Amino acid sequence: MDPISIISQADIALLQTIQTSIQPGLTEAMLALTFLGNPAFWVAVVAMVYWLGHENKSFFLMNLVMFSAVASGAMKFAFARPRPESSMFRVLAYDSIISPSFPSGHATLIAGAFSYCQGFIKRNLKILFALAVIGVAFSRLYLGMHFPSDVLAGIALGLAIGKLNLLARNRLFHKNFKPSKLEDEIALVLLLAATAIALFFLQPLPLVAALIGYYIGFFLFKEMELKQTKLSRNQMVLKQALGFAFLGAIFTGTGDILIGDAWISEIEQFFLYLIAGFWISWAWPAFVERGLGRKKN
């Protein structure tokens, strides 16, 4: 028997065993847990970090989302492995965009975030993060969305991507690094080119639009040499709440393409998510700073 057949049989047996634990209450918990590996969740984290005034940290988190999506998307395209069939397994959740099974994009992203963040977070958070990786991986199996080898490959891929992203961050944004305008422009071209490549591999075009909008806003923010004012706790809560209210309106208006069904055209989705990305990295921070400037005057 060839190795692929052995892996396939092991996948089927293990997945069937895991699904014997299915219970209504546990299913709800798994649906919530699996969201930690959804790109929509990490785009929200990117926005929160950016609006806290940590633009560079937010930038590398967004890079992590992009590279995880591109890498897993490329492998899905290359292997084209079908998802677990509902005739053999209990499929308890459905992605808005049906993509091939290998590797798991959710496992890739959460493992990438863990690998990247463990370079600068405390030990207790590392443990919680590791548990989140295991939880998301298990949830993909429990919900019948992937085979075990899919999530294992996703975790391995994510760990590698996160480590590379951490190395890039440490190398580029050490204390003496001050990018020139030319370097900004070169970086923008490279990132947008990588995002354009992602268009070929990724079916959820709104995610790609959000990436493009974010990068345009990020480099525009840097070119204009804008700085975010340090706010009081109450002011920061208000800033975050209003910023997310606008993003929530976009997600609602598009039908939550990243986590649910859409009811508008792909072109309309694309432009709305382009605006969302730009809102995160330039429009909302610049609007807040302008408002604070008027208040001071």
Query: How far apart are alpha carbons 205 and 203 in whole angstroms?
Result: 6
What amino acid is encoded at 152 in this protein?
L
Q: Give the pLDDT confidence score for residue 200 in this predicted structure.
A: 62
| pLDDT cut 90: percent of the chain above it | 40
Closest alpha carbon to 37 in 118, 126, 124, 108: 108
Report which of residues 3 and 63 the model is more confident about.
63
| Reported confidence tier of residue 103, pLDDT bands at 50, 70, 90 | very high
In a domain, 126, yes or no: yes
pLDDT at 2 over 90: no
In a domain, 105, yes or no: yes
Report, in angstroms and rounded to the nearest whole number, the Rg of the chain calculated over CA atoms.
20
When pLDDT is averaged across residues 171-195 and rounded to a whole number, the result is 65
CB neighbourhood size of 240 (10 A): 16
DSSP label at residue 20: G
pLDDT at 282 over 90: yes
pTM summary value: 0.87
In a domain, 224, yes or no: yes
Query: For residue range 87-96, what is the model confidence (pLDDT) as tens digits?
Result: 677 776 666 5
pLDDT at 232 over 50: yes
In a domain, 11, yes or no: no
In a domain, 47, yes or no: yes
How many domains does the chain fold into?
Answer: 1
| Reported confidence tier of residue 261, pLDDT bands at 50, 70, 90 | low
Q: Give the pLDDT confidence score for residue 18 in this predicted structure.
A: 85
When pLDDT is averaged across residues 164-181 and rounded to a whole number, the result is 71
Q: Give the pLDDT confidence score for residue 160 in this predicted structure.
A: 97
In a domain, 2, yes or no: no
Q: Give the pLDDT confidence score for residue 54 in this predicted structure.
A: 93
pLDDT at 236 over 80: yes
CB neighbourhood size of 149 (10 A): 20
Domain span at 68: 24-296
When pLDDT is averaged across residues 114-121 and rounded to a whole number, the result is 89
Q: Give the pLDDT confidence score for residue 82 in this predicted structure.
A: 87
Query: How far apart are alpha carbons 12 and 2 in whole angstroms?
Result: 16
Q: Which token pair is 236?
A: 């920061």
Q: Give the pLDDT confidence score for residue 259 in this predicted structure.
A: 45
In a domain, 16, yes or no: no
Query: For residue range 39-76, what is the model confidence (pLDDT) as tens digits?
Result: 889 999 999 999 999 998 999 999 999 899 889 988 98
Closest alpha carbon to 96 in 269, 278, 213, 271: 269
Average pLDDT, the chain: 84
In a domain, 1, yes or no: no
Report which of residues 107 and 99 the model is more confident about.
107
Q: Give the pLDDT confidence score for residue 95 in this predicted structure.
A: 60
